[in-house]
Amino acid sequence: MNIKKLIAEHINKTAEFSDTDFEALISESISNDKGNYSLPCFVFSKALHKSPQAIAESLLTQITNDGLFDKVEVVGGYVNFFLNKEYVSKNILTRFDISELTLNDGDSRLVLIDYCSPNVAKALHIGHLKTTIIGESLARLFTQCGYRVKRVNFLGDYGTPFGKIIGGLLKWGSFEEVKARGIDALQDYYIRFCKEEADDEALQQYARDIFQKIEQKDAEIYPIYQYIVEIALDSAKEMFSTLGVSFDDYRGEMYYNQYVPKIIDELKQKGLLVQSQDAQIVDLNDYDLSTAVMLKNDGTTLYLTRDISAVVSRYQEYKFDKILYVTDVAQVLHFKQLSKIIELMAYPFSKDIEHVPYGRYSLPDGKISSRKGKQAVLVDLIDYIKQKATEVIKGRSFTIERPDAVVEKVARAVLNYSVLKVERTKDCVFDTERAFSFDGETAPYMLYTYTRLASILRKYTDESVSADFSCFDNDAFELVKYVNDFTATMRIALEKRDSSILAKRIMDMCKAFNKFYTTNKVLDGNANTTSAKIQLVRALRDTLKVGFNLICIDTLEEM
């Protein structure tokens, strides 16, 4: 039910308001003593040469009431609408169906979402968590809103870091160690190589020579490279599984590099590529986007060149309607250059390229850098989070049949919510201690709220009784509005590409329910009022179930 639209339809438009969009002007009141919704009349004063109070009083006479309102009053230039809680609640809850939270806004259009994109030469660290969870949440949100979604992980499997790993392996390591220790061994080789090459130019050249052999698919080096990438990708997939994430497309820079010569030829043919000192560039200064290096004189390609190759290839393969890149804010210029070059190349999808930037994410210790050691490696963080979740579960007085599964879900919820609770573009620091509290704005608090709803519903068995919604107070009605408005919240989050909007609303719903629960006994002994409250609890539970999934949190029936 669109309550604002319904209120607007109850205002009879006179000639002076014939073109007025009342729905757009109506907003929720800041407190219940001023009504549930208000219509400010200040915007009409200049055109009508009347005071807001006089306009509001005039509009009051044009409002019809068929049971929607308890009362309508004018206060200081506002028309305040007090809704009939019983009438509105009955209309919303008796018609509620969880299937209605699956929208058709996208009309099955295809969206590609490029996120995570780790350099597989290095261990995944906490910095990868934000792109992965924001991207996954957006993928789920687009799907919920009726789009087809392809999840793309553009692997960083190209460049001299692989020369450094192989160089370290050949100089100091062994394949037996790699087989035994996997990604940890590779990371150790990389870290040692980075430290020792700082004072040894010969090592720097050694890494470059190895990478050149990788590009040339040297018979000795290229199989080692493939082996390393396979190990790194398997390790990354294990982490993604822990986070509840999977991808449809894992092709990386090495794959798309094969199409770069065609892109370079096309740029030349269209007069976009020019020589500039030691590189070939596209000059974007006329668009305030500086110059974009496409190719170095030694034939080396750039990340931007490979990104152009990838997006052109993806369009030819998928014919996507939109492609989103979820990366940190440092890459804003990169994607502006990418979009502009695609536009100058006259590809029809240039307008469908969208960058979704986000702020940095870190632990209290500071910035993350794999070059300085295994700082904030994601596998270590996840192990720590699981340990904390185990301690929290053991410290509570309830019985759990599958504690390992609960620990997994609690740990995942804590990590994922820590990302999505903060506005997308803001930097944030993950407070591991606070995140596990069952009080306040935390994932365990939300999970516990859901289990409380599930517990109430398990205790209710009488589904045949008619519901009496006259028992609903302001706390109950607040929950009714949350349920009713959830699809609107989904649309806003989608439009702004910001799942923190959803996370905040879901937290508000949990807090509102717990407030309601302290003042209202659901199973109150009265069959009719209990039936009404159960309908509210069920609608709230179902809405939260959808909402939790959208912010990458699994529900728990018991906790």
For residue range 334-371, list pLDDT tens digits in order.
999 999 999 999 999 999 999 999 998 877 755 444 44
How many CB atoms are located within 10 Å of the residue 466 CB? 8
Query: pLDDT confidence of 453, banded at 50, 70, 90?
Result: very high
What domain range is 56 assigned to? 3-83
Across 123-127, 330-334, 427-431, the highest mean pLDDT is recorded for 330-334
Q: Of 83, 104, 134, which residue sits at a domain end? A: 83
State the Cα–Cα distance between residues 322 and 306, nearest whole angstrom.
19
Shared-domain flag, residues 412 and 516: yes
State the Cα–Cα distance between residues 150 and 145, nearest whole angstrom.
14
State the Cα–Cα distance between residues 70 and 36, nearest whole angstrom.
11
Please report, as a single letter, which amino acid is at residue 62. Q
User: What average pLDDT score do residues 425-451 get?
Assistant: 85
User: Distance between alpha carbon 122 and the CA centroid of its chain, in Å?
Assistant: 24
Q: Can you say whether the dihedral through the CA atoms of 247, 250, 252, 256 is positive or negative?
A: negative
Q: Of 249, 269, 293, which residue sits at a domain end? A: 249
Shared-domain flag, residues 72 and 174: no
Shared-domain flag, residues 395 and 516: yes
Under a CB-based contact definition with an 8 Å cutoff, are residues 411 and 394 in contact?
no
Shared-domain flag, residues 65 and 178: no
Shared-domain flag, residues 79 and 219: no
Q: Can you say whether the dihedral through the CA atoms of 449, 454, 455, 457 is positive or negative?
A: positive
Q: How many domains does the chain have?
A: 3
Shared-domain flag, residues 383 and 517: yes
User: What average pLDDT score do residues 515-544 get?
Assistant: 96
Residue 211, pLDDT above cutoff 70: yes
- Give me 43's structure tokens: 């915007």
Residue 296: what pLDDT? 87
Shared-domain flag, residues 70 and 197: no
Shared-domain flag, residues 163 and 76: no
State the Cα–Cα distance between residues 498 and 489, nearest whole angstrom.
11
Residue 398, pLDDT above cutoff 60: no
| Angle, CA 553 vertex, CA 519 and CA 433 arms, to 5° | 80
Under a CB-based contact definition with an 8 Å cutoff, are residues 157 and 253 in contact?
yes
Which one-letter DSSP state was computed for residue 478? H
Residue in this structure with the two tokens 């989904």, named with its chain if needed: 490
Shared-domain flag, residues 420 and 538: yes
Residue 172 lies in a domain: yes
Residue 318 lies in a domain: no
State the Cα–Cα distance between residues 471 and 467, nearest whole angstrom.
10
User: What average pLDDT score do residues 518-537 get?
Assistant: 95
Q: Of 32, 61, 83, which residue sits at a domain end? A: 83
User: What average pLDDT score do residues 258-264 get?
Assistant: 95
CATH number at residue 386: 1.10.730.10
CATH number at residue 60: 3.30.1360.70
What does pTM read for this prediction?
0.92
State the chain's maximal CA–CA distance in angstroms: 88
| Angle, CA 194 vertex, CA 114 and CA 116 arms, to 5° | 10
Residue 66, pLDDT above cutoff 50: yes
State the angle between helix axes of 85-93 and 527-550 in degrees (0 to 180), rounded to the nearest 10: 60
Residue 402: what pLDDT? 65
Residue 232 lies in a domain: yes
- Give me 142's structure tokens: 């687009």
How many CB atoms are located within 10 Å of the residue 372 CB? 11
Q: Which of 509, 445, 498 is nearest to 476 (CA)?
A: 509
Shared-domain flag, residues 395 and 503: yes
User: What average pLDDT score do residues 116-121 get?
Assistant: 89
Residue 372: what pLDDT? 46
Residue in this structure with the two tokens 């049949």, named with its chain if needed: 401
CB-side neighbour CA atoms (13 Å) of 79: 23
Ordered strands of the 291-296 beta sheet: 274-276, 279-283, 291-296
User: What average pLDDT score do residues 487-513 get?
Assistant: 97
More reliable by pLDDT, 498 or 368: 498
Q: Can you say whether the dihedral through the CA atoms of 158, 164, 170, 173 is positive or negative?
A: negative
Residue 518, pLDDT above cutoff 70: yes
User: What average pLDDT score do residues 82-90 get?
Assistant: 96
More reliable by pLDDT, 363 or 151: 151
- Give me 24's structure tokens: 């757009």
CB-side neighbour CA atoms (13 Å) of 229: 22
Residue 354 lies in a domain: no
Residue 107 lies in a domain: no
State the Cα–Cα distance between residues 59 and 515, nearest whole angstrom.
36
Under a CB-based contact definition with an 8 Å cutoff, are residues 99 and 207 in contact?
no
Q: Which residues contact 307 (CB under 8 A, 6 or more apart)?
A: 154, 334, 338
Residue 27: what pLDDT? 94
Shared-domain flag, residues 43 and 177: no
More reliable by pLDDT, 379 or 175: 175
Compute the mean pLDDT over every residue in the chain, rounded to the nearest whole number. Answer: 91
Contacts 24+ apart (CB under 8 A), 260-264: 260/301, 260/305, 260/306, 260/309, 262/309, 263/305, 263/308, 263/309, 263/312, 264/294, 264/295, 264/305
Residue 437: what pLDDT? 73
State the Cα–Cα distance between residues 160 and 145, nearest whole angstrom.
42
Shared-domain flag, residues 167 and 48: no
